[in-house]
Amino acid sequence: MKMKQLASVIMAAGKGTRMKDPTKAKVMYEVLGKPMIHYVLDVAFALHSHRVVVITGYQREAVMSYIKQSHPSAELVVQAEQLGTGHAMMQTRDALKNYEGDIVVLSGDVPLLTVQSMQQLIDHQRTTNASATILTAEYSDPTGYGRIVRNIDGSVKKIVEQKDATDAERQIREINSGIYVFDREKLFEGLSNINSNNAQKEYYLTDVFEYFWKHQWKVAALKAEHPEEIQGVNTLEQLAEVQSVLLQRQDAST
Are 196 and 202 in contact by the 8 Å Cβ rule? The answer is yes
Q: Which of helix, strand or coil describes residue 236?
A: helix
* Residues 6+ positions from 198 with CB-CB distance below 8 Å: 204
Of these residues, 18, 93, 170, 249, which one is catalytic?
Answer: 18
From the list 217, 220, 47, 211, the residue with the least C-alpha distance to 126 is 220
Q: Alpha-carbon distance 36 to 241, whole Å?
A: 13
Q: 173 an active-site residue?
A: no
Alpha helices in the chain (DSSP H): 36-46, 60-70, 85-90, 115-127, 167-170, 184-191, 207-214, 236-253
- Annotated catalytic residues are 18
